[in-house]
Amino acid sequence: LTLGGDLPRAVADHEFIVNFQPIVDLGTGEVTSAEALARWHHPIHGLIDPLRFLEAVERSGLLPAFAEAILDQALIAAVSWRDAGFDVPVAVNVSPRSLLDARFPGSVLAHLRAHDLPPDRLVLELTETLTLSQLDVVDRVLSRLRDEGVRLALDDFGTGYSSLSLLSRIPVHELKIDRSFVTTMESSAEAAAVIRSTLDLGRSLDLDVVAEGVESEPQRRALWELGCVAGQGHLFARPMPSGTLLAAMQRGS
């Protein structure tokens, strides 16, 4: 599938859409935030997953336009939830390459102002694939956003070989435990230990911790008993349109 040539049209015609997966309180099931997940609604190929087009977007020079389109839809959703009485933050995934773009923080802050949304209603999820040599630039970009009140999360935490050194260089507000650890926590002492250590780290550094990929009730209970308050996964809900998520919050499920 060669999609690169279709990207300019995809941006111009608003073919990128966003679904939202709730992040819930593992004790009560209440929705506490939601992660924006991009999809490409391609006129011929149908719905395409980000793993199949993100690289092409990053190579194309259209990453800033793509990222702004996703951010815009995420902020519009957060405003619609707030206006309906559910003032939950929205989490948006950020490509490492955006963090090397000096214009990125200004663009994010301008979108927040345009939608009149307080910066702390936006969480930016960063992956650990950043290399240490890039950290000086990234640090400047993220400091600006952090100083303005935007919240930062380290995604896929525990999978990078530099998780801990990254954490000491980039102060974040939240850690997201990679779903591979949750999937195997019942059979693997190592996976369970990584989860326990991440929760300890969260308590020591006063960071929120979210468990990803929660698929079963035993996993939910085990995480809750370890002191994990927040989780996300198919046990609760799959990614869905913002209006569907609003209806679910209104039903209280």
CA distances, 208 to each of 169, 173, 175 (Å): 18, 6, 6
- DSSP letter at 42 equals E
| Min dist. Cβ of residue 155 to Na ion (A) | 4
| Min dist. Cβ of residue 155 to ligand G (A) | 5
Footprint of ligand G (CB under 6 A): 21, 37-38, 49-51, 54, 70, 93-95, 155-156, 179, 212-215, 232-234, 239
| Min dist. Cβ of residue 249 to Na ion (A) | 20
Question: 37 - beta bridge partners?
Answer: 19
Nearer to Na ion, 21 or 60 (CB): 21
Q: Among Na ion, ligand G, none, what does residue 51 contact (CB within 5–8 Å per kind)? A: ligand G
Question: Which one of the spans 4-12, 148-156, 164-172, 180-188 is the region binding Na ion (CB under 5 A)?
Answer: 148-156
Nearer to ligand G, 84 or 253 (CB): 253
Q: Which residue of the chain is nearest ligand G when measured via CB?
A: 233
| Contact call for residues 228 and 8 (beta carbons, < 8 A) | no
Cα separation of 116 and 110, whole Å? 10
- Helices (DSSP H) in 47-178: which residue ranges? 50-60, 63-83, 104-115, 135-147, 163-169
- Helices (DSSP H) in 116-241: which residue ranges? 135-147, 163-169, 179-184, 189-205, 217-225
Q: Which of residues 73-102 bind Na ion (CB under 5 A)?
A: 93
Radius of gyration of the chain (CA): 18
| Min dist. Cβ of residue 130 to Na ion (A) | 14
Nearer to Na ion, 6 or 166 (CB): 166
Cα separation of 109 and 114, whole Å? 9
x/- letters, 118..137, toward Na ion (CB under 5 A):
-------x------------
- For 238, the 3-state DSSP assignment is coil
| Min dist. Cβ of residue 98 to Na ion (A) | 14
- DSSP letter at 240 equals B
Residues lying near Na ion in the complex (CB under 5 A): 93, 125, 155
